[in-house]
Amino acid sequence: MNTNTDGFIVKANSDGCSHYPDVNTSTYHIIILEHGIIGNRKELEYLKEALERAHARSADKKGSKLLVHSAVCNEKDSLDGIKAGGYRLANEINDVVRCVATGIVREQLQRQQFSGLRPKKTIESTNITLSIIGNSLGGLYARFAVRYIDCTD
């Protein structure tokens, strides 16, 4: 899967997780957009742009970061059933969330290392929120996928 997530690259991509959170980010908002039947990632581009503009104007933007990810896992296979598409979507979501979480930990460890302080045994708390927006069949995929999102510590 070659998924460009606008600054975040999921595990299956060539770049790896190359973008990490800002130093003062205490909350990460991840929004997953899932297109409808026989659709593609561009189908909900207007919504992605609107969400990003709204976040940029928001008073809360200083302490938070927004990632709007347009799912691609069902672009070629949207006719093989809700179960198959839902599993694919859950896997893609898990990759994105894992990438963000890994980036948060790496950034905090690097910040500790470059500050000259001895590394702490604990990592600062950063909240990650997850929203899924699905259009038509994408909504059914999303409802199925929610059950399989890995939210363990």
In a domain, 53, yes or no: yes
In a domain, 66, yes or no: yes
Instruction: Measure CA of the first residue to CA of the last residue in the chain; give whole Å.
Output: 26
In a domain, 108, yes or no: yes
In a domain, 54, yes or no: yes
The structural domain count of the chain equals 1
In a domain, 153, yes or no: no
Q: What is the mean pLDDT of each run of 10 residues along the chain (153 residues)?
A: 35 39 70 96 96 91 90 94 97 96 86 70 78 97 96 67
Return d(Cα 131, Cα 38) in angstroms, integer. 22
pLDDT given for residue 10 in this prediction: 34
**Cross-strand bridge partners of residue 66:** 29
pTM, 2 dp: 0.79
Return d(Cα 107, Cα 149) in angstroms, integer. 24
Range of the domain at 76: 4-148
pLDDT given for residue 62 in this prediction: 79
| Residue at 134: amino acid letter | G
In a domain, 128, yes or no: yes
pLDDT given for residue 112 in this prediction: 76
